[in-house]
Structure 1
């Protein structure tokens, strides 16, 4: 990413420049805000499986699992429900002793399966009222081979992972997880996050909508909505300190951290050196952004992700005008005060649940909320 705009060859050798190859768009000399054309290839270069093999030693250990079309159809289906086990229908028990032996996730899946079956039965009744004896119970979707592969990957990555697809992670859906994070211990945790995420839905239906090039003689928009192979990426879980996450030389977490002021110069130099020594000339594009994480003791820096240099990419504490038009070197930018952080918008607030759902939950667990919601729906239907 062209955050640094050096004026001479000497400063260029020391700074970060996203324009490395001959023929790249010289956005710094334009008088209007012009982004490099976002092509299908540039976008695909930023997909995880494209860059991970080349930067494996610099990033977090991960496992890539191609997803079958049946599972993609499940992700695209309306509603949030977790696939059930084949041939098994769990039932809720009124016995407190039995309830103690059933996990919240099992109770949630039981409610989903019950609701799913009743909904299917209602459709059957309306379409064929005479066939009352027909079995109306419809099992939830089930993906045994995929689930086993995911479980094996989780075990191989230490028992805790966070998921993403080719480009996006379900960060906007972390509110639905019991931990309020992307930490997953099992298949159900992963499926719930993927099914609840607008970011994931965008990857599956609108990934290429901003591409400007043509494929097979047609405009790129509308020709390819999703990658030919949709991949689930499982990354080994680490408790990363949000204060030490950066997009090039911009703070990522929109929270004020006073201690960052004292180490700003050190952090900036670490990122510049990391770029010059590990990334520059090795990524196939000349215009891009990259995300990094610096350990709390500032002894190591991890590469987290790549994104295209495009308007859809969040420029965080910078404005695109200054990044694309400024000729001078731009220093690292952090939130200047706690007041500045308070003016930043809450991330993903528009992706969350409606207020009436919040009122209904009233501090309950996921399973307790699901049961209360189910009863409310049944009452309203009478």
Structure 2
């Protein structure tokens, strides 16, 4: 029996400040002509103001890319284009700064942190701060056995919660969520199909770029996983233990505790979408604290995001994972925050029609146009 009181999250997670959001919407009506002239950027600024609880919104200054890493036992079935148990190679590229997500994070001023939850490698191969939270070495094959024990799932879930507290306490103002795995899109598809009540074929994607034969193997594994998932749908921790993995449990715990701590999160691909779907089952208000960074090529992501009413900010065909799509959305959020923070609250004076000579400003520095602190 789990020692985590999941029902508590429903009471602890509050909605972002609706009053601030309404004030932000009204402010754009005053400041921008024509109405809606800033399009979706204004909507993002409204969301940022609401989650920050202030207007104007603060600029984003301490963004963090948090990447959860794990290997999945189901990969031995040949459901990935990568060999089973090699996610540590992908993690090392992020750590060394050579992965796409690392390049983009440097460009946009975000710090990157990799968290090993269940990589199938010797811990000595990676820095100690990366492996400090490892729950186990790889996960079980979800088609024939539980991915984790319930105790391991609880440990991973609590790790995610603790990491959310660490980020909130350190002053992080936006988390860009990522994941690294081999075989991870298979448990993601199982969770989404189970929670959305769909067939395996509807949520089975190409993952790392598999061919038709691998797709059929993957679809079969998802069907087998679904048979094991359905009996535990009412217990989210048991569900994560049965057909998820340590990274899935940790991401779910992170998302929920981030919502409790009022820390906004940008979701990445199908793995974070699957975890968000599980988290929504636990606390229905939690999705108000997240945005979806991009639309991946995985059909399951569409299902999950539709169920939690999130629309991707970008659709650029990104499939590399690791948080790349989430980081690509960071400039949009930075721009929205800067527009809210720096546009003056009073519009420039408009000359009456038919004036023969322009009026000189009463004061050249326009002191009344200074943005609010």
> What TM-score bracket applies, with the shorter chain setting the length?
under 0.3
Q: TM-score, normalised by structure 2?
A: 0.23
More helix by percentage: 2
Q: Whose RCO is larger (CA < 8 A, sep 6+)? A: 1
Q: Pick the structure with greater CA Rg.
A: 1
